[in-house]
Amino acid sequence: MNYDAIVIGAGMSGLAAGIRLAMFDKKVVIIEKHSIPGGLNSYYQRKNTDKGGIRQFDVGLHALTNFIKKGEKGKPFSKLLKQLRLSYDDFKLCPQTHSKIVFPNHELKFSNDFELLQTEVQEKFPAEIDNFSKLVEVVRAFNELDLTIGYSSSRETLKNYIKDDLLLEMILCPLLIYGSAWEDDMDFAQFVIMFKSLYFEGFSRPEGGVRTILSLLMKRLEDCGGEIRFKTAVSEILTDGEGKAIGVKVLNEEILAPIVLSSIGYPETVKLTSKLEVRPRVGAMTFLESIFVFDKKIPLNVNDSTIVFYNNAPTYSYRPAKDYFDKTSAVVCFPDNYESNRLEGEGTVRITFMANYEQWASLPKSDYMERKEQVSESAMELVKKLNPQFDGKLLFKDIFSPTTIERYTWHLNGTVYGSIDKTRDGRTPVKNLYIIGTDQGFLGIIGSMLSGISMANLHGLMSAE
Amino acid sequence: MADVRKIVLDIISDIAPDEDITELDDQKSLREQLDLDSMDFLDIVMELRKRHKVEVPQEDYPRLATLASCVTYLSPKFTVA
**Residue A27 identity:** K
Instruction: Give the per-residue pLDDT at A342.
Output: 62
**Which residues of chain A are under the pLDDT cut of 50?**
465
The residue among A81, A20, A42, A79 whose CA lies nearest residue A226 is: A20
Cβ-nearest to B42 among A71, A74, A462: A462
Select which of B10, B37, B43, B60 is catalytic: B37
* Chain A residues touching residue B55 (CB < 8 angstroms): 465
Give dist(CA A166, CA A92) in Å, integer.
37
Q: Band of the pLDDT at B80, cuts 50, 70, 90? A: low
User: CB–CB of A457 and B42 under 8 A?
Assistant: yes
Give dist(CA A190, CA A301) in Å, integer.
36
Instruction: Give the per-residue pLDDT at A269.
Output: 96
The strand ranges marked E within A251-311 are: 253-256, 259-262, 287-294, 307-311
Closest chain B residue to the Cα of A26, Cα to Cα = B50
Percentage of chain A lying above the pLDDT 90 cut? 85
Instruction: Give the per-residue pLDDT at B20.
Output: 87
Residue pLDDT, tens place only, A93-126: 999 999 999 999 999 999 999 999 999 999 999 9
Give dist(CA A406, CA A454) in Å, integer.
27
Q: Does B49 touch chain A (CB under 8 A)?
A: yes
Residue pLDDT, tens place only, A330-351: 999 999 999 875 667 899 999 9
Give dist(CA A394, CA A292) in Å, integer.
7
**Residue A145 identity:** L
Q: Does A83 touch chain B (CB under 8 A)?
A: yes
Query: Which stretches within chain B are classed as H helix?
Result: 4-15, 30-33, 38-52, 67-80
**B2: pLDDT strictly greater than 80:** no
How far, in Å, are A45, A403, B52 from residue A415 at the CA level?
Answer: 23, 10, 46
Instruction: Give the per-residue pLDDT at B1.
Output: 60
Most A CBs within 10 A among B20, B43, B44, B48, hence the mutation to make, goes to B43
Q: DSSP for A71-127, please give it.
A: T--SSHHHHHHHHHT--GGGG-EEEBS-EEEEETTEEEEE-SSHHHHHHHHHHH-GG
B37 is catalytic: yes
Give dist(CA A39, CA A46) in Å, integer.
19
User: Which residues on adjacent β-strands are paired with residue A8?
Assistant: A31, A262
User: CB–CB of A465 and B58 under 8 A?
Assistant: yes
User: CB–CB of B37 and A79 under 8 A?
Assistant: yes
